[in-house]
Homo-oligomer: A and B are copies of this chain.
Amino acid sequence: MTKRQFLVSVIGGHKCTDKVSELAAEVGRIIADSGAALVCGGLGGTMEAACRGAKEAGGVTIGIIPGEDKNRANRFVDIVIPTGMGFSRNTLVVGTGDVVVALPGEYGTLSEISFALIGKKKVYGFDTWDIKGVIKLKDVGELKEVLDREKEG
Protein backbone atom coordinates (compact mmCIF):
# COMPACT_ATOMS: atom_id res chain seq x y z
CA MET A 1 0.00 0.00 0.00
CA THR A 2 1.22 3.44 -0.92
CA LYS A 3 0.96 6.65 1.07
CA ARG A 4 -1.13 9.04 -1.02
CA GLN A 5 0.72 12.01 -2.39
CA PHE A 6 -0.53 15.21 -0.73
CA LEU A 7 -1.59 17.64 -3.45
CA VAL A 8 -2.02 21.41 -3.47
CA SER A 9 -3.91 23.11 -6.30
CA VAL A 10 -2.77 26.56 -7.34
CA ILE A 11 -5.26 28.60 -9.33
CA GLY A 12 -4.87 32.03 -10.92
CA GLY A 13 -4.71 33.95 -14.17
CA HIS A 14 -2.92 32.81 -17.31
CA LYS A 15 -1.43 36.28 -17.44
CA CYS A 16 -0.03 38.19 -14.50
CA THR A 17 2.16 41.08 -13.43
CA ASP A 18 5.79 40.54 -12.44
CA LYS A 19 4.82 41.04 -8.83
CA VAL A 20 2.16 38.35 -8.94
CA SER A 21 4.53 36.09 -10.85
CA GLU A 22 7.06 36.36 -8.01
CA LEU A 23 4.32 35.62 -5.48
CA ALA A 24 3.25 32.57 -7.50
CA ALA A 25 6.82 31.28 -7.69
CA GLU A 26 7.22 31.69 -3.93
CA VAL A 27 3.95 29.81 -3.40
CA GLY A 28 5.28 27.03 -5.63
CA ARG A 29 8.50 26.84 -3.64
CA ILE A 30 6.66 26.60 -0.33
CA ILE A 31 4.41 23.84 -1.65
CA ALA A 32 7.41 21.85 -2.86
CA ASP A 33 9.27 22.44 0.40
CA SER A 34 6.31 21.10 2.34
CA GLY A 35 6.54 17.82 0.43
CA ALA A 36 3.32 18.34 -1.49
CA ALA A 37 2.99 18.02 -5.25
CA LEU A 38 1.62 21.07 -7.07
CA VAL A 39 -1.44 20.81 -9.31
CA CYS A 40 -2.54 23.56 -11.67
CA GLY A 41 -4.10 24.27 -15.04
CA GLY A 42 -0.71 23.85 -16.69
CA LEU A 43 -0.69 27.03 -18.78
CA GLY A 44 1.16 30.37 -18.46
CA GLY A 45 1.06 33.32 -16.07
CA THR A 46 0.54 32.34 -12.45
CA MET A 47 0.48 28.66 -13.38
CA GLU A 48 3.88 28.76 -15.04
CA ALA A 49 5.39 30.83 -12.27
CA ALA A 50 4.09 28.51 -9.57
CA CYS A 51 5.44 25.47 -11.42
CA ARG A 52 8.79 27.18 -11.87
CA GLY A 53 9.00 27.86 -8.15
CA ALA A 54 8.07 24.27 -7.31
CA LYS A 55 10.74 22.89 -9.67
CA GLU A 56 13.38 25.23 -8.24
CA ALA A 57 12.64 23.66 -4.87
CA GLY A 58 12.83 20.13 -6.27
CA GLY A 59 9.09 19.46 -6.26
CA VAL A 60 6.71 17.62 -8.56
CA THR A 61 4.27 19.50 -10.82
CA ILE A 62 1.06 18.32 -12.46
CA GLY A 63 -0.71 20.31 -15.18
CA ILE A 64 -4.32 19.55 -16.09
CA ILE A 65 -4.62 21.36 -19.39
CA PRO A 66 -7.71 22.32 -21.43
CA GLY A 67 -6.44 21.00 -24.77
CA GLU A 68 -5.28 17.65 -26.10
CA ASP A 69 -1.70 18.57 -26.95
CA LYS A 70 0.80 17.99 -24.15
CA ASN A 71 3.17 20.49 -25.70
CA ARG A 72 0.81 23.28 -24.69
CA ALA A 73 1.64 22.79 -21.05
CA ASN A 74 4.22 25.18 -19.65
CA ARG A 75 7.79 23.91 -19.53
CA PHE A 76 7.82 23.43 -15.76
CA VAL A 77 5.12 20.77 -15.73
CA ASP A 78 6.33 17.22 -15.08
CA ILE A 79 3.09 15.32 -15.51
CA VAL A 80 0.68 16.61 -18.14
CA ILE A 81 -2.97 15.56 -18.08
CA PRO A 82 -4.41 16.70 -21.42
CA THR A 83 -8.18 16.78 -21.07
CA GLY A 84 -9.47 18.18 -24.35
CA MET A 85 -12.37 19.49 -22.27
CA GLY A 86 -11.69 23.20 -22.35
CA PHE A 87 -12.86 25.13 -19.30
CA SER A 88 -14.73 22.09 -18.00
CA ARG A 89 -11.34 20.91 -16.81
CA ASN A 90 -11.46 23.57 -14.12
CA THR A 91 -13.43 21.23 -11.88
CA LEU A 92 -10.57 18.74 -12.07
CA VAL A 93 -7.88 21.28 -11.26
CA VAL A 94 -9.42 22.06 -7.88
CA GLY A 95 -10.92 18.62 -7.32
CA THR A 96 -7.44 17.11 -7.40
CA GLY A 97 -5.97 19.33 -4.70
CA ASP A 98 -6.31 18.46 -1.04
CA VAL A 99 -6.26 22.20 -0.45
CA VAL A 100 -6.41 25.11 -2.87
CA VAL A 101 -4.35 28.29 -3.11
CA ALA A 102 -6.01 31.09 -5.10
CA LEU A 103 -3.96 33.85 -6.70
CA PRO A 104 -5.23 36.84 -8.67
CA GLY A 105 -7.13 35.80 -11.77
CA GLU A 106 -10.15 36.38 -13.94
CA TYR A 107 -13.41 34.48 -14.38
CA GLY A 108 -11.65 31.15 -14.82
CA THR A 109 -10.18 31.56 -11.36
CA LEU A 110 -13.61 32.52 -10.04
CA SER A 111 -15.09 29.31 -11.46
CA GLU A 112 -12.33 27.33 -9.75
CA ILE A 113 -12.94 29.05 -6.43
CA SER A 114 -16.62 28.16 -6.83
CA PHE A 115 -15.92 24.51 -7.52
CA ALA A 116 -13.47 24.27 -4.64
CA LEU A 117 -16.07 25.68 -2.27
CA ILE A 118 -18.77 23.36 -3.67
CA GLY A 119 -16.40 20.52 -2.80
CA LYS A 120 -15.95 21.94 0.70
CA LYS A 121 -12.20 22.36 0.19
CA LYS A 122 -10.22 24.93 2.05
CA VAL A 123 -9.34 27.80 -0.27
CA TYR A 124 -6.49 30.09 0.78
CA GLY A 125 -6.50 33.35 -1.16
CA PHE A 126 -3.84 35.93 -1.93
CA ASP A 127 -5.41 39.13 -3.21
CA THR A 128 -7.99 37.20 -5.24
CA TRP A 129 -11.79 37.29 -5.69
CA ASP A 130 -13.51 38.34 -2.45
CA ILE A 131 -15.92 35.43 -2.11
CA LYS A 132 -17.49 34.25 1.13
CA GLY A 133 -15.61 31.14 2.21
CA VAL A 134 -12.16 32.08 0.92
CA ILE A 135 -9.60 32.28 3.72
CA LYS A 136 -7.43 35.33 3.10
CA LEU A 137 -3.71 35.06 3.65
CA LYS A 138 -1.43 38.07 4.01
CA ASP A 139 1.91 36.57 3.14
CA VAL A 140 3.57 33.36 2.09
CA GLY A 141 4.79 32.76 5.62
CA GLU A 142 1.18 32.14 6.59
CA LEU A 143 0.84 29.64 3.75
CA LYS A 144 3.82 27.71 5.06
CA GLU A 145 2.18 27.37 8.45
CA VAL A 146 -1.11 26.36 6.84
CA LEU A 147 0.47 23.62 4.75
CA ASP A 148 2.35 22.20 7.69
CA ARG A 149 -0.91 22.08 9.61
CA GLU A 150 -2.95 20.63 6.76
CA LYS A 151 -0.55 17.80 6.19
CA GLU A 152 -0.73 16.75 9.78
CA GLY A 153 -4.56 16.81 9.66
- B96 and A91 form a contact (CB under 8 A): no
- A2 and B77 form a contact (CB under 8 A): yes
Q: How far is the CA of A133 from the CA of B107 in the complex (A)?
A: 10
- A78 and B118 form a contact (CB under 8 A): no
Tally A residues with Cβ within 8 Å of B. 43
Q: Is A79 among interface residues, defined by CB-CB distance under 8 A?
A: yes
Q: Is A111 among interface residues, defined by CB-CB distance under 8 A?
A: yes
Q: A4-B80, A82-B95, A84-B86 known; A107 and B114 CB under 8 Å?
A: yes
**In whole Å, how far is A153's beta carbon from the nearest beta carbon of chain B?**
15
**In whole Å, how far is A130's beta carbon from the nearest beta carbon of chain B?**
10
Q: Is the interface of A mostly helix, strand, loop or mixed?
A: mixed
Q: Is A131 among interface residues, defined by CB-CB distance under 8 A?
A: yes
Q: How far is the CA of A114 from the CA of B92 in the complex (A)?
A: 16
Which of B68, B107, B119 makes the CB contact (< 8 A) with A95? Answer: B68
A residues 1-26 near B (Cβ < 8 Å) are 1-2, 4-5, 7
Question: Residues of A with Cβ closer than 8 Å to B?
Answer: 1-2, 4-5, 7, 37, 55, 61-62, 64, 68, 70, 75-88, 91-92, 95-96, 106-108, 110-111, 113-115, 117-119, 131, 133
